[in-house]
Structure formats: C-alpha cells, structure tokens
C-alpha cells in the first residue's frame, strides 16, 4: 500500500465523524434502586460506552463535592448544589451498553426536608442536564482535536508534496540541461567522426601518392645508376 492510500485511510474516519449530528440532551424524571432503596432523580441518555459515561460522571461528581464510590454507585455525602452546601447525600450512577448509556443523579427524598426537596430536585435536573451537555461537548472536542490533527497531517502532506514537486522540477531542469549537453556532445562527436573519416581517407590517398612518387624516384635512381655504369 502506497503512502497516499495509507494517508486517505487515516483521514477518512475523521471526515465521517464530521457528518454526525449534534446530540440534544433530554432529561427524564426517573427513579432508581440504589443500595437497596428507591431514590428519586433524573437521567439522560448519551451516546457513549458505559465505561466512558461512568468515568465522566465520576469526574463531574467531584465538582459537586468529595465523593465515595462503591461499584457503579457514586455517593456525594455533602454536595454543593447551585452554590448551596447540603449535609444530606446525593447519589449518581450509570448503566448501558458499548454504544448508548444513561447517567442518573438523585436523592432519597424521604430523608430530605420537604421544603428542600422541590428546590434540590430542580437543581439536580439542571445538574444532570449540564453533565449531559458537558459529556457531548467533550466528546465533540475529541473529534475537533482529531480533526485538527488530521488538518495538520493534510497540511504537512500538502507541504511535502509541494516540496517534492519543487525537487522534481529542479531535477527535470537538470535533466533537460544534461540532455541538451548530451545531444550537443553527440552532434559534436558525429562531426568529429566525419572529419576523422575524411582525414583518414586523405591520409590514405597521401600515402598512395607518396608510395607512387617513391617508386618513380627509385626507378629514376636506377636509370641514373645504369647510365653511370655506361660512362667510359
């Protein structure tokens, strides 16, 4: 698999998440069985695994006060709700699957003063709503961070390709110059080849001429020698 295909496979999942619609948080009044007793409260359904929702709920619970946790139940003995400190506990828990989970928060209303129940229940409804909003926003933030990393990867890949294009164009220009030099060299070589052939041919002709002249001179020399012998 080439680099570009690998790059597309990495970026493609990030692109898909961009088309997922935003989740509206809906709060429902719901009772829950906590530590063997019935509790009144509110819950939200969220798109996320139970582990993720539970971890987020635990973290969020710590903003309301010191927590105690046993199994999937979070107890906040002295919660701070809407700026008010209470000495009666608030409970929170979550359940669900790998794709969808519910987060619940509530109180044992029979333990609370009647004057406080309505006020606290209203605050708990807002609290679990705020938690749902934060959970979804945090989840989207993860997608934003992934998109930002993907964007940086795209920019780096784009810059790498731009630099590669520059390098290739430089090499192309070098290749063109080398090609022209080679063509000129070949042309020069061809001319030199023709010149050498002509010089060799002339040399051969000159050699033949010299050889002929040498033969003629030798014959004349022999004639002079014969003539010399005849002188008395």
What is the spatial distance between Cα 194 and Cα 98, in angstroms, rounded to a whole number? 85
Per-residue pLDDT tens digits for 52-72: 999 999 999 999 999 999 999
Specify which residues 84 forms β-bridges with. 81
Average pLDDT estimate for 3-11 = 52
How does residue 16 score in pLDDT terms, banded at 50, 70 and 90? very low
pTM equals: 0.66
Domains of the chain with bracketed CATH: 22-147 (3.30.310)
CA 153 to the chain's CA centroid: 4
Helix (H, G, I), strand (E, B) or coil at 87: coil
C-alpha count within 13 angstroms, C-beta hemisphere, residue 194? 5
pLDDT for 100-129, tens place per residue? 999 999 999 999 998 899 999 999 999 999
* Cβ–Cβ < 8 Å for 102, 32: no
Report whether 57 contacts 94 (CB < 8 A). Answer: yes
Listed in sequence order, the DSSP H helices in 35-95 are 50-61
């Amino acid at each position: 698999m080439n680099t570009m295909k690998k790059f597309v496979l990495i970026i493609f999942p990030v692109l898909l998440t961009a088309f997922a619609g935003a989740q509206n948080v809906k709060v429902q009044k719901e009772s829950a069985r906590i530590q063997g007793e019935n509790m009144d409260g509110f819950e939200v359904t969220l798109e996320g695994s139970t582990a993720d929702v539970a971890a987020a709920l635990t973290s969020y619970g710590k903003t309301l006060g010191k927590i105690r946790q046993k199994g999937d139940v979070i107890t906040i003995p002295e919660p701070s709700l809407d700026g008010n400190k209470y000495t009666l506990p608030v409970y929170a828990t979550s359940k669900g699957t790998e794709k969808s989970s519910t987060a619940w928060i509530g109180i044992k209303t029979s333990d609370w003063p009647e004057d406080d129940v309505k006020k606290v229940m209203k605050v708990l409804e807002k609290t679990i709503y705020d938690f749902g909003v934060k959970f979804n926003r945090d989840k989207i933030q993860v997608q934003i961070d992934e998109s930002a990393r993907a964007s940086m990867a795209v920019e780096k890949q784009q810059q790498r390709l731009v630099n590669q294009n520059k390098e290739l164009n430089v090499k192309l220009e070098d290749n063109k110059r080398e090609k022209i030099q080679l063509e000129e060299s070949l042309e020069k070589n061809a001319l030199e080849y023709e010149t050498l052939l002509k010089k060799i041919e002339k040399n051969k002709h000159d050699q033949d001429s010299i050889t002929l002249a040498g033969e003629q001179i030798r014959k004349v020399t022999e004639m002079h020698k014969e003539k010399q012998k005849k002188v008395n």
